[in-house]
Amino acid sequence: MTLIQQLLGGGLLLALVVAVVAAVRKSRAAARSATAAAETREQLDLAQRAVAARDEEARHLAEARLPGLLLAWQSGSRSPEDGGNLLHPGSAVTPSGAACQSVIEQARTMLEQADTRAEGTARNAVQATTRSLQILGYEFQVNVSNLIKSVDDQELLAQLMPVDHLASQLLRRLQVVAVLTGMWPGRSREAAPLLSVARSGLGRIKDYERVQVPASLPYYVDGTAVEPLALLLAELMDNAARHSAPQTPVQILVREVHNGLTIEIHDAGAGMTPEVQLRAEQLLNSEGKVRLTDLGTPAGFGLAGAGALCHRYGFRVLLDQQLSQGGGCRAVVVVPRNLLVAAPDPLTQPAPPVSEFATAPSTVAPQPPVGDSGPVDPVDRGPDGLPQRRRTPRTPRPQQTSPASQPPGASAGAAMANFARGTQSIHRPDPEEHTP
């Protein structure tokens, strides 16, 4: 082989090596380019998915979460879960997810503030209206009662007594509304027999003739609980009578239990649906958290007021439909033992004071308790145990010098109204204590 041939062979070999190296480098560059292009496409896909998720989250916030939060608050819910969750839970760590959650929290805070202002405004308005109406109602009832005492015409008495009874029902409903707003319900200075308390509540409802109260009860209620218990029983008896047929009785049974007393109210109505019973139990066990703005339209104050009384004074009310003796509903009021007192000893007790709770449903309507109005005169009891009015025989008078008796003047109830205003201002609750 000549030198030229060797040089040509070496050159060809070198060219081949260079070509192979170039091909390898090109292949590697192409692979790197393909990898970079794939990574770029993947990053682009991730960015597009992130943008789509952010758009979906914003749409979900506007179309579902905020409307759901508003709807929940309108229906009375105050749960932290109101407003739902993020559509993509993983986006919670992203700025857009945190922003969406911040919008929900800010909306919830604004709703709470607006609701608090609305509730406070409603309570103040209802308190002012109720206070003025109570005073007018007391004046009206005192005037009617004085008129009843002053007339001798039996026909006129028969017409006046239903008016007096209507006034007692009106005052009871005003009192329940007042209790719901945190106002003072009124208290008795003295302990009272449970029978008088039950009859006091009975005298404040419309269908009192259908309610069967025991003829005698050997229990006494502490003075601080007399008026609240009478008001609570009145609401439950009225509820039982209104939700049962007019010809059916409402039976009251009292049992002594380990922790106090139970007062059972049995009606013969159609009972309650599960939804109605659940709502009633929520109101009765509201722990004083019932809001006026959540009572619905039309607002139902009775059971809500009963729940407020239970929370404030320690009563409990249970509902069931299995053990009702009338086949309807049974409401059980549990009176704790600390609200009961021993019966006074008749040998050591002075003459009993005029009771402010011995009211006659068919004659003189119950008067407001001490702190709301003055006491009423005692009345006789009939064979059925209910109070009855009996006209006092009049002593014949000589016809010479004594002037004819005059009916009460137009200001007969002024002292009662002034007393009611004064006691309400003294016993008005601390606004901070009843802040919603």
- Span 165-181, pLDDT tens digits: 998 999 999 999 888 88
32: exposed, middle or buried (Cβ count in 10 Å: 0-12, 13-18, 19+): exposed
Which pLDDT value is given to residue 251? 93
Nearest to 127 by CA among 371, 435, 369, 365: 435
Whole-angstrom distance, CA of residue 149 vs CA of residue 160:
10
**Do the Cβ atoms of 138 and 399 come closer than 8 Å?**
no
For the chain, which residues make up each domain, given as ranges? 121-344+356-389+413-429
How would you label 115-146 residue by residue, b for 16+ Cβ within 10 Å and e otherwise? beeebeebbeebbeebbebbbebbbbbbbbbb
Which pLDDT value is given to residue 5? 66
> Splitting the chain (436 residues) into consecutive groups of 10 residues, what average pLDDT does each group show?
66 74 79 82 81 84 86 75 76 82 88 86 86 88 89 86 90 89 77 93 92 92 92 93 90 92 92 85 79 72 88 91 85 94 70 42 39 40 49 43 37 46 44 36
Q: Count of CB atoms within 10 A of residue 321's CB?
A: 15
Which pLDDT value is given to residue 346? 66
Name the pTM for this structure: 0.64
Nearest to 389 by CA among 209, 148, 124: 148
Whole-angstrom distance, CA of residue 340 vs CA of residue 88:
59
Residue type, 229: L
CATH of 121-344+356-389+413-429, one of 3.40.50.10860, 3.40.630.30, 3.30.565.10, 3.50.50.100: 3.30.565.10
Tens of pLDDT, residue by residue over 234-290, are 999 999 999 898 889 999 999 999 889 999 999 998 888 888 888 888 888 877 677
Whole-angstrom distance, CA of residue 103 vs CA of residue 245:
53
